[in-house]
Amino acid sequence: MKITEGLRGAVQRVDDCIWEIPVQAKAGMLVPARLYASGPLLEQMDDGVFEQVTNVACLPGIVRASLCMPDGHWGYGFPIGGVAAFRADTGVISPGGIGFDINCGMRLIRTGLTEDEVRPRLHELIAALFNAVPAGVGAKGFVRLSGSEFKTVMVEGAGWCVARGYGWPEDLAHIEGRGCLAGADPERVSARALERGTQQLGTLGSGNHYLEIQVVRPGAIHDERSARVLGVDGPGQVFVMLHCGSRGFGHQVGTDYLKVFDRAMPQYGISVRDRELACAPFRSKEGQAYFGAMTAAANTAFANRQVITHQIREVFSKVFGRDAHALGLTVVYDVCHNTAKLERHMVDGRELELVVHRKGATRAFGPGEPDVPPDYREIGQPVIVGGSMETGSALLVGTARAMAETWGSTAHGAGRTMSRAQAKRRVWGETLIKDMEARGIVVRAASKSGVAEEAGFAYKDLTAVVDTLQRLDISRRVVSLTPIGNIKG
């Protein structure tokens, strides 16, 4: 990517881990760009981040600043880790600020099991999960849906699943937006999107998506009180983490509307620096149609993770010979990291309705916020930050500072530092699988080359990202989780 002359050089430090690119740095910037990163993490950010975060700062209706979280890296249109809020009345909505994998997100499931109980049956467990949760190219799920049923899923999200026995009623309280975002409009979804996604409910996908068995190591609990509230009993406890999204259905919605917006921009007098930033006024015909279709895809992603949760519970019950309730398989939380949502935030002392885009960024609402489940309200919304398949992940909570500073947003993962091709050149998938097995991590994957692409060395150090979030106080770390089993597409 061609970098505007001096863009990296225009970065000014405004606080310990906050950096700003002023509006003068690029023609057309309406607000500054703000990068949230430690010095070393800022250095690691590829040049595309600086170009993209300043391009976003040029979009109509953007409020306060164009933001990038500490795990930021090159995306298309927005950087991964990009957060931007637009006025609902005069601003735009852009598929490039959400990504093709609408409501890609994370779910963490607690178990009452310990590593000592799971380790002897780990291979059996991973094999059974690999069979129960289809992964990789061309995979189909077990749920059969008619077109009209699929449209109901789009509106009801995870609630549809619970009503049909794929989950427990109490699961819903621990999902962002209760697993059902308002505004879904199945009539704004193309027939192709419907055809593409109908058979994929309950599938994992591939790329960086995974289902992981994780354990709490001694010393991994950083905040005892919050950990207890979130169902973390202590070292040795086993958790299940899930990373996936809306599958082909959401990808098709993104594809369809990128073309719609690409054609519509001239009629609204909008020009963008990057075609992937195609956008339309939120209140326009196209903007509302996309919002309806995008929300339908977001709800389908919640349903996807809910169906997979059902499968996980079935497998654990079978392998350990006890009911899933008895095994304590409760949902800790489920968060989106690719969405645009209508939210109300304080701007210059006034509450405004904003369309908050989070692309590879997680909502991180602080204590006391009404959208945080009542049982977590005292500690803040759980935030699940996924690391690489070798190094582990983290559970954090949102803060009041995030509400004031980043529209209640934080990082979503470790962020890549190496291309997929480079990673594949450095290690064979089969070699890595054997090496991980020797280190106590059992891996099953639909694609061996896909495993090599996701090697730990291809990602930033998650600890550095989480430390930065803690220093910034836009989320607080609660517990670190270490993988012992991994399923990949």
Partner 1 sequence: MGRYTFLDDVALADCAVEIEGRSLDDLFETAAAAIARLMVDPATLAITVERTISLEASELDMLLYDWLSEMIFLKDRDSQVFPHARVRVTGDGPYRLAADVQGGTIEPGRTALGADPKAVTFHLFALEPRDGGWRARVVIDI
Tell me which residues touch partner 1 (CB under 8 A). Answer: 1, 46, 48, 73-77, 80, 99-101, 136-140, 192, 195-197, 199-200, 205-208, 247-248, 251-252, 254-255, 258-259, 262, 274-276, 278, 416-422, 446-447, 449-450, 453, 489
The DSSP result for 292-346, as a single string, is: HHHHHHHHHHHHHHHHHHHHHHHHHHHHHTS-TTTTT--EEEEEESEEEEEEEEE
Q: State the nearest-atom distance from the C-beta of 193 to partner 1, in Å.
A: 9
Token digits of residue 426: 């450095």
Q: Are 81 and 361 in contact (CB under 8 A)?
A: yes
Token digits of residue 7: 């863009």
Closer residue to partner 1 (CB): 139 or 213: 139
Closer residue to partner 1 (CB): 45 or 118: 45
Backbone angles phi, psi at 86, to 5 degrees: -120, 145
Q: State the nearest-atom distance from the C-beta of 88 to partner 1, in Å.
A: 26
| C-alpha distances in Å from residue 428, one per residue of 127, 440, 482 | 21, 18, 23
Residue type, 234: G
Closer residue to partner 1 (CB): 101 or 171: 101
Q: State the nearest-atom distance from the C-beta of 76 to partner 1, in Å.
A: 4
- The total of other beta-carbon atoms located within 10 Å of residue 370's CB is 7
Closer residue to partner 1 (CB): 77 or 186: 77
Residues 6+ apart with CB under 8 A from 78: 52, 53, 56, 84, 94, 96, 97, 99, 277, 357, 359
Q: Are 71 and 460 in contact (CB under 8 A)?
A: yes
Backbone angles phi, psi at 339, to 5 degrees: -150, 165
Closer residue to partner 1 (CB): 140 or 344: 140
328: left (phi over 0), alpha (psi -120 to 50) or beta: left
Q: Are 359 and 97 in contact (CB under 8 A)?
A: yes
- The total of other beta-carbon atoms located within 10 Å of residue 488's CB is 29
Q: State the nearest-atom distance from the C-beta of 231 to partner 1, in Å.
A: 32
Residue 412 catalytic?
A: yes
Closer residue to partner 1 (CB): 379 or 423: 423
Q: Are 54 and 33 in contact (CB under 8 A)?
A: yes
Q: Are 159 and 179 in contact (CB under 8 A)?
A: yes
- Looking at 174, 243, 251, 412, which residue is catalytic? 412
Q: State the nearest-atom distance from the C-beta of 471 to partner 1, in Å.
A: 25
Q: State the nearest-atom distance from the C-beta of 209 to partner 1, in Å.
A: 9
Closer residue to partner 1 (CB): 76 or 428: 76
172: left (phi over 0), alpha (psi -120 to 50) or beta: alpha
Q: State the nearest-atom distance from the C-beta of 103 to partner 1, in Å.
A: 13
Known catalytic residues are: 412
